[in-house]
Amino acid sequence: MTGCNNWAWTFIFSQRPRPNYDWYDGHILITMPPRRFWTSKHQFWNVHVCGRAMFRALVALARTLHQEGHQVVIACNDPVDLPIAESLFEGGLPGDVVCPETLEEYFQLISASRAVVSGRLHTAVVAFSLGIPFLLMDVDQRTHGFVKTYQLEPWSVVPSLPRIEARLREDTERLLSGAACESWKFFIEKRDHMCARAMDLLAEALKAISWKGTS
């Protein structure tokens, strides 16, 4: 799932948010971060300061949600991330950690979700396009750029901050509550406004290219 255009994926479906999504009978999808945040020779300090804490916080969240009776699905976007995720969840949740093999499986997994907690930017972008509320781990410049562009700071978590497990749990509770519905309507409206503006700019650019070709 890597290497895709986040800008294009933001508008691929452009669905409206579900009404009363807090009552939607779907799973909570937790997408694990890439393995470089668990082990990396080039980012040793970042891994040990916040990377592994982020993994442990997601694992703790999944187990808490499961104990509370929620249907939880754990996913990886890349097969190389599976061994770490499987070892972290061994014996802790029913079912296997999943890794969609096709885009169709990937989209279906997200669209069947009630909400998404994501350590992967691509998954949050697709959830945004599908109108599904999400909580995104703000882990790098690309993620931070997406968060800033759509003013999604209330629904992002910086893993280097103190109390990461407690903050993630508190923000997830807020995400799953009906009180968050109005907030997501605002973000979807901003998404659609930016899509319309992008299409206008594209049309202007194509018109200019066509004019130059006939001159």
pLDDT (tens digit, 9 = 90+) per residue, 101-125?
Answer: 999 999 999 999 999 999 999 999 9
- Mind listing the pLDDT tens digit for each residue in 39-52? 766 554 455 567 88
Which of the residue ranges 40-54, 126-140, 199-213 has the most confident prediction, judged by mean pLDDT?
Answer: 126-140
pLDDT-above-90 percentage for the chain: 54
Per-residue confidence (pLDDT) for residue 106, from 0 to 100: 95
Per-residue confidence (pLDDT) for residue 79, from 0 to 100: 95
Is 131 in contact with 24 (CB distance < 8 Å)? no
Name the CA dihedral angle for 50, 130, 28, 149, rounded to a multiple of 10 degrees. 20
H or E element, residue 86 = helix 82-89
Whether residue 14 has pLDDT greater than 70 = yes
Phi and psi for 161 in degrees, rounded to 5?
Answer: -75, 155
Residue ranges of domains in the chain, CATH in brackets: 21-180 (3.40.50.2000)
- Mind listing the pLDDT tens digit for each residue in 134-188? 999 998 889 999 999 999 999 999 988 889 999 999 999 999 987 788 888 889 9
